[in-house]
A and B are shown apart, each in its own frame.
Chain A
Amino acid sequence: MKGLTRRLLVRLGTGLVMVWVVATFTFFLVHALPGNPGDAQYEQYLTQGMAPETARAKVAVIYGFTSHEPLLQQYTSYMWQLLQGNLGVSISYTGEPVVQVIRAALPWTLFPVLTGLVVSFLVGVTAGVVAAVRRSSRWGGLLSLSGSLVAGVPSFVLALLLAFLFHTLWQILPFGDTSDVTLEPGFNGPYIASVISHAVLPVATYALLSYGGWLLAMKSSVVSVLGDDFILASELRGITPLTRMRYIARNAILPLFTVLALSLGFMFGGSVLIEDIFDYPGLGNLLLKSIGARDYPLMGGAFLLITVAIVLANILAELLYSVIDPRVRR
């Protein structure tokens, strides 16, 4: 237990250093992007038909929210604020706290990403076990083929295909937004059904994208465990098939936990593309908007959140690994 606590503290310390490194890197990276918030917005106002003097006036307000201090000074101020949990105010939302803007979008990325991950993990891992155990049968072959096929499809192709089939062609699933805005939000059937139906396409995309990976990884891991001596020894001792499967699954799933943590990060990153295609207003959509508007605080906040999510997921995976595999605790 003492070892586990020490391990946790070390991992948390390392995680904090990683967050600091990434926060520093992204701070300078986003400020190195060509362009600035005022010019980007001014051009947009003009092309919307706004008179130049009105556009200039509106941009002056945005300019007021843009820091004009030297970059290094901005950085120290940013880090100091960050230590106090303050991500600053958004430029493109002219003064709205970044935390508030992110808070509004975050649940709509977390919900489909986590659901997609859990669904793909459960389905993929189960299918992987079946594909490995029955690898000589027709079903085993078909399952492996399905994994290879899905794993090979680029995310945007899959997302566009699902959008075309279920929204445009058959018109059975909605597109855009998180629920039907005319419904009263709350714990009521129509609203919950609406939230679910709006999330089906992004969740299905996330799930399908990683399903193949889980299946193939689990199949390979199970096949490897099946050849281990302890399985043969257990079989010779006459254990039941269920116990045998438990032995196999517990040992085969271990390497997948590290991948699980990493894939959470990938899925968060992938949300930019998926949310854009499905017009689903989560963090990815917000990040795209903030990049186009050169909203440095919002970009920094969104990147930081993704980093923290990945670091935390890694720590969690390691802890879980320790619980599942006693050898790691030593």
Chain B
Amino acid sequence: MKRLTQLSAPVAALALLGALSACSSGSRTASGGGVYTTIDAKNPITAGAPMNPFNASGTAFIGYNTMQLGFDKKNALDPNDFFPGLAKSWTSTPTALTVELQPDAKWSDGSPVTADDIKTSMAVALTQGKAASGTALLTQGLDVAAVKSTGPHTVEIDQVAGAHNIGFTRLVLTQFIVPTKVYGSLLPADIWDTIAASQSQDPADADAAKAAVDKLNAAGQKISAFAPKSDVSAGPFVLTRVNPGSAVLDKNKYFYGAAKIAPKQVVVRHYTGNEQIWGYMTNGELDSAPYTSIPSNVLTQIQRAGYQRVDTVSYVDAAIAFNESVAPYDNRAVRQALAHVIDRQTVTKVGEPVGGTASPATTGLIQSAAKQLLTPEQLAALDPYTHDLAKATSLLEGAGFRKSGGKWMLPDGKPWTITLQTVNGFSDWIAASTVIANELSSFGIPTKPAVTADFATYQKEMADGKYPVGWWLTALGPDPSAAYQRLYGTSDGYTAVGAKVSHASGKDSGNWVNTPTSYTVDGTALDPGALTAKLSTMAPADQKPIVQQLARATNQELPMIQIWDYTNVQFTSPKHFTNFPRQGQDALLVNPPGVWMMQGYVQAK
């Protein structure tokens, strides 16, 4: 009896806990059919954030309650390839984009989406740091000069006269479309006059143009800080409640494609890091989850919880970067030798076993983009820098290095050691660094990994040239221009404003890669920075010859050694919903689930 009394307290406590959890697990039990629970990779949700897509931390979810005219398919060969959004269709001319709006497009209060809303949205977009003047306006900025209604559901968006911006269609289609009734009053009454003044190309008006850009930016600050009282959405869902750590969106009954939308509610969960997302999945709490870096054992647990893995292309590659202002990394043979010593297959197996594929060759592009942009003959002609210690030895000896007591000595006879810099929070880089350090040390180059406290510090110290050898993300895309800007852009001292390119090096220049400004490839001299800047002004069809030159040059010179291409590993759960996009549907899978639903995917079981 006494024993029973002693046990009664903990038993009662456990019973209470059980009762509490049963009372509060509404979202889990309600998920059967109606509630779609997920994570938004671009929005971890932070306490106190306003329901405003223009706020950097705003509680707004693209594809759910935040709409665009279209959704980017991330097609490397056609940057204007989009899924329809609020635009049912569109036609481009060299001077304008004509958009046919979805005829039934409505806001969540039942009012129609009008040409005036598109006009307001473009004006708001121009206040969000997108306004530019001079050459930048004509080649890179969002150079919208006017928005006109040309029919009941058609809108013409004009480009500034004389502009030559190859990204005009893409830039217009990807702007957030917001209601005039909510955001219109935040714009100055003379907004379009100000926009016109900012776009003047007359050098005599330069000061007025600058003043207009400043005025637009001031309006932009007001807009980004704005906290609407409630959400007015033209998307499939409308935000109804925000907790400090999650948000719930209800189905928008006025959405033009409401019949295709199966979930009655979407719950977006908060996260601070990969571990939380793994935890939600191992508990079966999510219906889909975006990419997170995952070790093999966690993958097993997630799959055991019933999740299906879907791999798609990811336009990111992990690379070892060099500061070529520091000897011996200014020597191409040294970089090539190191590439032969590092066994990328082994390193990838340890560093990114689930979400990585060892890079077949360094080109500045991920392999799938390289396959699209280079011919099979060009791909075959690239040096794969296979794991070949004999070749590494020969390259180093040719560069004047000698081995003594099992250790490589620099040409001046001093010992050669490497500190391989990585950053806290990048567990894949840290694990891979250990393998690389072992490989290099075994080869005779004592190497130790070093970890910087956080990424902001890493970035600053890298830009200051403090790390001769360190990890870096490269091949960002899908646009090859973006991928090569990563190599031969600001981090290499190049600044491009339109077609005009300038180069800087030395202290405070931000140039930490320090490649030479001229490479000789197959007997021809080329300037990688100038070629990269040229890429950004060219139509995709015309880009290939330059991409091929840059890929060849990068493969020969190795300003960085590409270690692995990331794979966008996502997970879907068949527990409550079916008909998820499948492997191979990359265009869909690079978009959030709200876009999948708009296309008729994700149906209740």
Residues of A at under 8 Å CB distance from B?
33-36, 39-41, 43, 46-49, 51-54, 56-65, 89-90, 92-96, 100-105, 108, 163, 167-168, 171-183, 185, 189-190, 193-194, 196-198, 200, 276, 279-282, 285-286, 288-289, 291-294
Contacts and interface: CB of A to CB of B under 8 A. Distances in A.
Contacts of A33: 456-457
B224 A94 contact: yes
Given A39-B459, A58-B129, A104-B48, 14 more contacts: A40-B456, A46-B482, A49-B74, A53-B167, A54-B171, A57-B128, A61-B220, A65-B221, A94-B54, A171-B283, A172-B18, A178-B245, A193-B19, A197-B20
A93 B49 contact: yes
Interface in B112-153: 128-130, 140-142
5 contacts: A36-B460, A93-B46, A94-B55, A96-B49, A197-B17
A174 B247 contact: no
A96 B224 CA distance: 9
Contact of A35 (B41, B48, B459): B459
A115 B129 CA distance: 45
A172 B17 CA distance: 7
A174 B24 contact: yes
A101 B171 CA distance: 31
Given A53-B140, A54-B174, A104-B48, A180 B25 contact: yes
Contact of B225 (A94, A176, A291): A94
B416 interface: no
A289 B27 CA distance: 27
Contacts of B273: 276
Contact of B48 (A62, A100, A167, A288): A100
B271 interface: yes
Nearest to B18: A172
Contacts of B171: 53-54
Given A49-B315, A167-B279, A292 B454 contact: yes
Contacts, number: 235
B227 interface: yes
Considering residues A52, A179, A200, which has the most beta carbons from chain B within 10 angstroms of its beta carbon? Answer: A52
Interface in B219-236: 220-222, 224-225, 227
Given A56-B129, A279-B276, A105 B48 contact: yes
Interface of B: 17-21, 23-27, 30, 35, 41-42, 45-50, 54-57, 74, 128-130, 140-142, 167, 170-171, 174, 217, 220-222, 224-225, 227, 241-248, 265, 267, 269-273, 276, 279-280, 282-283, 315-316, 454-457, 459-461, 463, 473, 476, 479, 482, 485, 489, 590
A193 B455 contact: no
B459 A43 contact: yes
A196 B17 CA distance: 9
B305 to A, nearest CB: 10
A61 B221 contact: yes
Contacts of B246: 176-177, 181
Given A62-B56, A64-B217, A95 B225 contact: yes
Contact of B27 (A62, A93, A181, A293): A181
A272 B25 CA distance: 26
Contacts of B30: 182
B21 A108 contact: no
A128 B579 CA distance: 60
Contacts of B45: 281
A190 B26 contact: yes
Contact of B270 (A54, A59, A90, A279): A279
A56 B496 CA distance: 13
Nearest to B42: A48
Given A35-B457, A56-B129, A62-B56, A180 B283 contact: no
Contacts of B461: 34
Contacts of A175: 276, 279-280, 283
Given A49-B315, A61-B129, A39 B460 contact: yes
Contact of A96 (B48, B174, B217, B222): B48
Contacts of A100: 48
A67 to B, nearest CB: 13
A176 B245 contact: yes
A176 B456 contact: no
A47 B48 contact: no
Nearest to A95: B225
Given A61-B129, A193-B24, A182 B267 contact: yes
Contacts of B50: 93, 96
B129 A60 contact: yes
B147 to A, nearest CB: 19
Contacts of B224: 61, 94-95
Contacts of A59: 129
Contacts of B473: 46-47
Contacts of A102: 48
A96 B270 contact: no
A175 B20 CA distance: 13
Given A61-B129, A176-B246, A39 B174 contact: no
Given A33-B457, A61-B129, A89 B225 contact: yes
Contacts of B222: 95
Given A43-B459, A279-B272, A182 B248 contact: yes
A189 B23 CA distance: 8
Nearest to A40: B456
Given A94-B56, A104-B244, A291 B46 contact: no
A174 B55 CA distance: 30
Contact of B21 (A104, A168, A173, A176): A173
B24 A96 contact: no
B329 to A, nearest CB: 22
Given A61-B56, A172-B17, A179-B24, A104 B47 contact: yes
Given A52-B482, A180-B24, A198-B24, A286 B57 contact: no
Contacts of A289: 46, 272
B460 A34 contact: yes
Contacts of A46: 473, 476, 482
Given A34-B456, A180-B26, A52 B46 contact: no
Given A33-B457, A288-B272, A181 B248 contact: yes
Nearest to B457: A34
B283 A168 contact: yes
Contacts of A108: 47, 244
